[in-house]
Structure 1
Amino acid sequence: MIASRSSTPADVRRWRSHLADEHANARVFRDLAARRSGEERQILSSLAEAEERHAQHWVRLLGDRAEPTPRATPGQRLQGWLARRFGMLFVLSLLQRSKSSNPYLDEVDASTAMAADEKVHEEVLRGLAARGRLHLSGNFRAAVFGANDGLVSNLALIMGMAATGVGSSIVLAAGLAGLLAGALSMAAGEYISVRSARELLSASQPGRGTREALGRLDLHANELELVYRARGMDLDAARTRAAEVLAQVQRGGNAPADAVPAAPTEADEQDAVLNPWGAALASFAFFASGALIPVLPYLLGLGGGVALVVALVLVGMALLVTGAVVGVLSGASPLGRGVRQLLIGYGAAAATYLLGLVFGTAGLAG
C-alpha cells in the first residue's frame, strides 16, 4: 500500500494523467480483443482488466477529484483509432514500445507491484507481437528490400546520368531502364532488408529486467500466465508453469533462470525470413512501385535541376516512411530507422552523382 500524504495540485494532475493512460490502454486492448478470437482474445481482455485494476488505484487516490473522467490525449485517441482500423501487429508494436518506458518505475505513488505488472505486460505484448512478426518477416523482408532497391537504384541512376549533362529525355530513358546503378542499389537494399528482418525477430526476445520483476509481482493478481500463453502455451500448461515459478519466488525471492520463455528457435527464424514465392511476388511489386518514384518528375515533364530536386524530395519522403514503418513494427525508434534508410539512400545517390560528374567532365556525355 502507498502511505497516505497530503496531495498537491501537481500530484493531482499527475494522477489524473496516469488514470487517463490506464483508461486509454484498457480501451485499446478491448478494441483489439473484439477483433480477435480464442486465446488471443482472452489474453487481450485480461490485459484490459489489468489496466482497469491499475486505474482503480488512481481513482482511490484521487477520490472526488477523479471526476470528471480525464480526457484521452490526442496520442491516445490516435492509438485507439489505429487499433480499430489497422493491423494488430502495428498496434501491438506501438503498445510494446510505450510499455517499455514504464512510467511507474519512478512514480512514488504507484506500488512496486504496479511497476512489475507494467514490465510483465510489455513481455505479454512481445509474445503476442512475436506471432505476427514470425508470419510477417519473410514477406516484409522482401517488401523492404524491393521498395528500397527500386528507390535507391533509380535515384542513384538518375542523379548519375543527370550529372553527366545529358538531356532529360535520356535521363528518363535511363531511369525507366533501371540498369546502371544495380550494384549500389543491391548492396544498400540487401543491407536494409537483412537488418530489418533481424530487428523484427530480435524485438521478440524476452526483455531485460522481466525476470527480476517477477519477484515483485502482485501474487493475487498477476499476469505471468499470460506471458506463457502469449508465447504459445495452452491455458493449463501456462497456469501450471506460472504457479511453479511463483511458488519458487515465494520460497526464495528469486525467479528461476528460465522463468521467461525463450524466443523462437533458429529454425523458426529461418522459416520466418525465407518464403520464396511470397518474397518473389513482394519484391517484384515493391521494386516496381519504388523505382517509379524517382522518375515521376520526368514523366510529368519536369527537367534539369528542378526534376532532380523533386526526385530527391519524393524519394527521401518514401525512405523515411519505409524506415519508420520498420521502426514501429520492430519496437524501435521510427525516426532513427527512417533517418538510417534516408542516409543510405542519399549516400548511394551522392556517390553515383559524383561519378556522373567525372564522366561528364571527361566528355563521355557527348
Structure 2
Amino acid sequence: MTAPSSAAPTSRDRRRWAQYLADERAEARLYRTLAQRRMGEEREILLALADAEGRHESHWLALLGGEPKRLPSPSLDTRMLVWMARRFGMVFVLALAQHAEARSPYENEPYATAAMVADEKVHHEVVRNLAARGRRQLSGTFRAAVFGANDGLVSNLALVMGIGATGVGAPFVLLSGLAGLLAGALSMAAGEFVSVRSQREMLASTGHSDFADAALPDLDLDANEVALVYRARGLDADEALARARRVVETAQAADRSQPYRRPVDAVEEQDVVGGAWGAATSSFLFFASGAVIPVLPWIFGLEGVVAVVLALVLVGIALLATGAMVGVLSGGPPLRRALRQLAIGLGAAAITYVLGLVFGVSVA
C-alpha cells in the first residue's frame, strides 16, 4: 500500500509503524499461546485470529521496507496479556483482550487500510464471544466463591469497624468479628442448602416421568396422544407429532419380553443442579474466607489504630481483587469494578464506624 499523501513518511511515522509491528506480533503470540491450551473449534478460532494479526504484521513490514534494525517493545498491556496467557485461565485473558481489541488505534491511522480497521472491529466481536463462552462455562462454584468471599469481606469489616468505634477493648472486637464470621457463614450455608434443595425438588416434579412408558408399544402409530405431551412442553404441532411417531416406533421395535422404558430425549433434559450439602459447604467456606480477613489483625494480637488501619488495608486489597474478578465475569472493565467494589466496602465500614462513634460507650 502506498502512503495516503504525496509527502514522504516521517521518522515519527516509521516509529509508529514499528510499534504497530511489535504489537501485532505480540498479539499473534497471545492467540497462539491461548490456542495451545484449547481443543477443537476454539483452538481453530484462536489460530485464525493469530493468522489475521500476521496479515497486519505483513502490512507494516511492507511499509517499513523490511525488518527494522531495532524493534520497540510491545505495549505494556499486550506484554501483560501474553504473560497472563501462560499462567491464568483463558476467560480472564480473553476478557482483558476484548477491551484491548476495542481500543485499536487503526481507526485514526491514515496508513492502515479499511480492511484492517474492519478486521479489528470483527476481532473485538470474536474475542468478546469467546470470552462470553468461557464465562458461561465457568462453574457456579467459582462464581459463588467470588461473591461469597466478597460478602464476607464487606459484612465483617463493617461489623468490626462498628464494634471497634464504640470504644470496647480488643478482645471484644475479636470475639464480635469471629461471631460475625460464624453467623454469616452459617446463614449463607443454610440459605444455599434450602435454595439448592428446593430447586432439585422443583426439577424432580417437572422432569421426565415413566408413568406411561409401559403403554407406549400399544399405541396407534398415527393416532396417539404422545404428541400432546410434547405440545404441552412447548413444541409446535408438526414437530410434536413427528417426535411422537419416533417414540412410538422405537417402543414398538423394542423387545416385548422386557419392560419398556423410554429414553429421555433432548426436550426433557434438565439443567444439572449440584448437591445441597456441597453447595452449603462451599458457601460456608467462601464466606468465611472473606470474613476472616478483617479479623486478622486482632487474631495476631494487634489493637487500636494499628489494627484498624491494617484491617482496612487487607480488606481493601481483597476488595480490589474480588471486584476485578467480578468485572471479568460480567464483561465490564476490571479496574472500574475493582474501584467500585472498594468504594462500596469501605463506604459500608465508614457508615458503621460513624454509628459506633455515635452510640459508643466508655469502658473503664
User: 1:79 offset after TM fit, Å?
Assistant: 1.6
1:2 and 1:111 in contact (8 A); partners too: no
Which residue of 2 is the match for residue 60 of structure 1? 62
- Which amino acid is 2:318 matched to? A
Deviations 1:103-126 (A, max 9, x none): 111111001110110000111111
Identity, in percent, stands at 62
Q: SS in structure 1 opposite 2:105?
A: coil
Deviations 1:20-51 (A, max 9, x none): 11000000111111111111111111110000
1:92 aligned to 2:99? no
Which residue of 1 is the match for residue 159 of structure 2? 157
Which residue of 2 is the match for residue 327 of structure 1? 327
Q: Residues 190-269 of structure 1 correspond to what in structure 2 (within 5 A)?
A: none
* Closer/same/farther in 2, CA of residues 350 and 53 from structure 1, 3 Å limit: same
1:292 aligned to 2:320? no
User: 1:59 offset after TM fit, Å?
Assistant: 0.4
Alignment gaps of 5+ in structure 1: 187-270
Deviations 1:181-200 (A, max 9, x none): 96xx99xxxxxxxxxxxxxx
User: 1:288 offset after TM fit, Å?
Assistant: 1.2
TM-score w.r.t. the length of structure 2 is 0.70
Q: SS in structure 2 opposite 1:108?
A: coil
Provide the C-alpha distance between the structure 2 equivalents of 1:101 and 1:35, rounded to a whole number of angstroms: 26
1:80 aligned to 2:64? no
Which residue of 1 is the match for residue 127 of structure 2? 125
Q: Residues 116-195 of structure 1 correspond to what in structure 2 (within 5 A)?
A: 116-136=118-138, 138-178=140-180
1:93 and 1:330 in contact (8 A); partners too: no
- Which amino acid is 2:339 matched to? V
TM-score w.r.t. the length of structure 1 is 0.70
User: 1:304 offset after TM fit, Å?
Assistant: 1.4
1:30 aligned to 2:32? yes
Deviations 1:79-129 (A, max 9, x none): 212111111111111111100112111111001110110000111111111
Aligned length: 278
Provide the C-alpha distance between the structure 2 equivalents of 1:346 and 1:181, rounded to a whole number of angstroms: 21
Deviations 1:209-258 (A, max 9, x none): xxxxxxxxxxxxxxxxxxxxxxxxxxxxxxxxxxxxxxxxxxxxxxxxxx
Provide the C-alpha distance between the structure 2 equivalents of 1:323 and 1:125, rounded to a whole number of angstroms: 22
1:109 aligned residue (106, 111, 126): 111
Provide the C-alpha distance between the structure 2 equivalents of 1:92 and 1:104, rounded to a whole number of angstroms: 20
Which residue of 1 is the match for residue 73 of structure 2? 71
1:154 and 1:181 in contact (8 A); partners too: no
Provide the C-alpha distance between the structure 2 equivalents of 1:309 and 1:125, rounded to a whole number of angstroms: 41
Provide the C-alpha distance between the structure 2 equivalents of 1:70 and 1:310, rounded to a whole number of angstroms: 42
Which residue of 1 is the match for residue 48 of structure 2? 46
* Closer/same/farther in 2, CA of residues 108 and 331 from structure 1, 3 Å limit: farther
Provide the C-alpha distance between the structure 2 equivalents of 1:298 and 1:61, rounded to a whole number of angstroms: 63
Alignment gaps of 5+ in structure 2: 189-270
Which residue of 2 is the match for residue 19 of structure 1? 21
Which residue of 1 is the match for residue 360 of structure 2? 360
Q: CA RMSD in A?
A: 2.7
Deviation above 6 Å: which 4+ runs of structure 1? 179-182
Q: SS in structure 2 opposite 1:346?
A: helix
- Which amino acid is 2:33 matched to? D
User: 1:325 offset after TM fit, Å?
Assistant: 2.3
User: 1:329 offset after TM fit, Å?
Assistant: 4.1
1:320 and 1:338 in contact (8 A); partners too: yes
